[in-house]
Structure 1
Amino acid sequence: MDFGYEGKVAVITGSSKGIGRKTAEQMAGLGAKVMLVARGEEDLVKAKEEISHHGEVDYVQADVTEEGAADKIIGRTADRFGRIDVLINNAGGSFAKAFDQLEISDWEQDIDLKLMAAVKMSKAAMPYLKENGGAILNMTAVLGKTPPASSLPTTVSRAAGMAMTKAMSKDLGQYDIRVNTVCIGLIKSDQIMQKWKNEEPGLSWEEYAGLDKHNIPLGRIGDTEEAANVITFLCSDLASYVNGVAVNVDGGSGHAL
């Protein structure tokens, strides 16, 4: 099965670990040239070394919230690989509190990271994506569709990301640029692994991942590869008529389609 990645170039933010890294590995293995982006250079060097066994990869160390970071990342990618076909806006986190526990600065930092960074990256990549068409994938979260208590500001940032995705898909379709979002639920990550060790150190990972308290119909926390599979498909030629969708990757835990 041909995913159409051969000769394509993908930029993935937040890709030194977790879902971003696994997606980079998959795309490189399918023939894409991949530019990794993250804040920590040590993790980037390690990721590049390991992913290089699957295909051509390089990295840019950058904080996507900083002024000029988007232009730096996109410029270096174009200089290194000569084109850009896929942009995955994956940088983010899961900071969440109740409304009355938040400072204005908390809102500003979260929106800068999860919404405005994606805006700036997409804007910087636009001249290159317009040349050959391509795909933008904005990572969001399933809780952005049905925010629970004490989930601010992250659910608001993620909901805004979904709305932006839909509007972008309608604006950019004329250039053969598809824009979609993956709404993540509980997926194995450094943060989840630390929570497991803090909460249930006596349990194996499989036992912890399957606890009823997670309220996941499929009965377990998802793996990074399972999320990467969906992202890799949505950005590929196999999904050439999929545009403006928000796909839940959450084991069925969300309360909205």
Structure 2
Amino acid sequence: MELGLKGKVAVITGSSKGIGYYTAMQLVKEGVKVVLCARGEKQLQVAAGCIKNETGEDVLIVPTDITKEKDCKYLIERAVEHFGRLDILINNAGTASANSFESVSSELWQADVDLKVFGAVNCSKYAVPHLRKVGGGAIVNVTAVMAKTPPASSLPSTVSRAAGLALTKAMSKDLGKDNIRVNSVCIGLIRSDQIEKTWKEAEPELSWDEYSRKVGQAIPLGRVGETQEAANVITFLVSDAASYVTGTSVNIDGGSGHAL
């Protein structure tokens, strides 16, 4: 399938590791010019080096704290200054914070909303004019499957992630006239540094496949998802192959979610 991505430019937040990094790697392989951003410059340099080693291509790194609007503005301006255009924005930055309602402080509520909601809002705010200039583009907001059906003790993450779903739908309605598509992916249990740490500390005698199947017994597909599998879906959504897809959310959860 021809994805039509060659020569496009993408900004990916939270891309020094995990889903953001794997998506960056996949997009570079498809011929996309990629801008990596995260708070830590050292980890960004490591990620950029790994991409260079595997693909032979350079990426631009921009250390960014997306909880600060001025950083979001600089990130987008630097990307356009360096590559001359912008076609794709992937709002991936975020952390998991799961607590009971009464245990969440006002400071934690604010920090979570600043990162996951206003980070996406501000990056999008500064990206949209540049997407419009090139005749359209794609935005993907990375959220969580639990945002659709929040369980107990899942705050504040499920609330801020649910806001990300509403943001996706509203933006898609406003920006469709400019051929700017906005979608979201809802992440379930996906292989991560934290899961790997738990595996190696708790049951190092098991192979990853064995541990994945054990942890994923309650998931219909019977295993933990691979990070690359999430990257594949995001790559599709920002490509020309998904040119008539906007305002929707795609669960990447092995069937574990309780909502479409």
TM-score by length of 1: 0.97
Q: Quote the residue 2:259 is aligned against.
A: 256
Aligned-partner SS, 1:180: strand
Q: Distance in 1 between matches of 2:161 and 2:31?
A: 31
* Structure 2: stretches of 5+ with no match in the other structure: none
Q: Distance in 1 between matches of 2:129 and 2:170?
A: 18
Residues 65, 117 of structure 1: 8 Å contact kept: yes
**1:7-38 deviation per Cα after TM superposition (whole angstroms, max 9, x unaligned):** 10000001010111111011111111000001
- Matched letter for residue 250 of structure 1: D
Q: Quote the residue 1:59 is aligned against.
A: 61
- The answer as to 2:136 corresponding to 1:131 is no
- The answer as to 2:150 corresponding to 1:147 is yes
Aligned-partner SS, 2:233: helix
Residues 215, 224 of structure 2: 8 Å contact kept: no
Which of 239, 244, 249 is the matching residue for 1:246?
Answer: 249
Aligned-partner SS, 1:181: strand
Q: Quote the residue 1:92 is aligned against.
A: 94
* Structure 1: stretches of 5+ with no match in the other structure: none
Residues 216, 224 of structure 2: 8 Å contact kept: no
Which of 104, 107, 120 is the matching residue for 2:106?
Answer: 104
Q: Distance in 2 between matches of 1:37 and 1:118?
A: 13
Residues 200 and 97 (structure 1), Cα distance of their counterparts in 2 relative to 1, 3 Å cut: farther
Aligned-partner SS, 1:35: strand
Q: Distance in 2 between matches of 1:97 and 1:198?
A: 24
Deviation at 1:204, TM superposition (A): 2.5
Aligned ranges for residues 71-90 of structure 1 at < 5 Å?
71-90=73-92
Q: CA RMSD in A?
A: 1.2
Aligned-partner SS, 1:117: helix
Deviation at 1:214, TM superposition (A): 5.3
Aligned-partner SS, 2:251: strand
Q: Quote the residue 2:12 is aligned against.
A: 12
Q: Distance in 2 between matches of 1:212 and 1:27?
A: 30
Residues 108 and 219 (structure 1), Cα distance of their counterparts in 2 relative to 1, 3 Å cut: same
Residues 216, 252 of structure 1: 8 Å contact kept: yes
Q: Distance in 2 between matches of 1:229 and 1:123?
A: 26
TM-score by length of 2: 0.96
Q: Distance in 2 between matches of 1:32 and 1:201?
A: 38
Q: Distance in 1 between matches of 2:257 and 2:145?
A: 6
Q: Quote the residue 1:113 is aligned against.
A: 115
Query: Quick one: percent identity of the two aligned structures?
Result: 59
Q: Quote the residue 1:187 is aligned against.
A: 190
Deviation at 1:118, TM superposition (A): 0.1
Q: Distance in 1 between matches of 2:119 and 2:202?
A: 33
Residues 32, 56 of structure 1: 8 Å contact kept: no
Aligned-partner SS, 1:216: coil
Deviation at 1:197, TM superposition (A): 3.1
Q: Distance in 2 between matches of 1:213 and 1:72?
A: 41
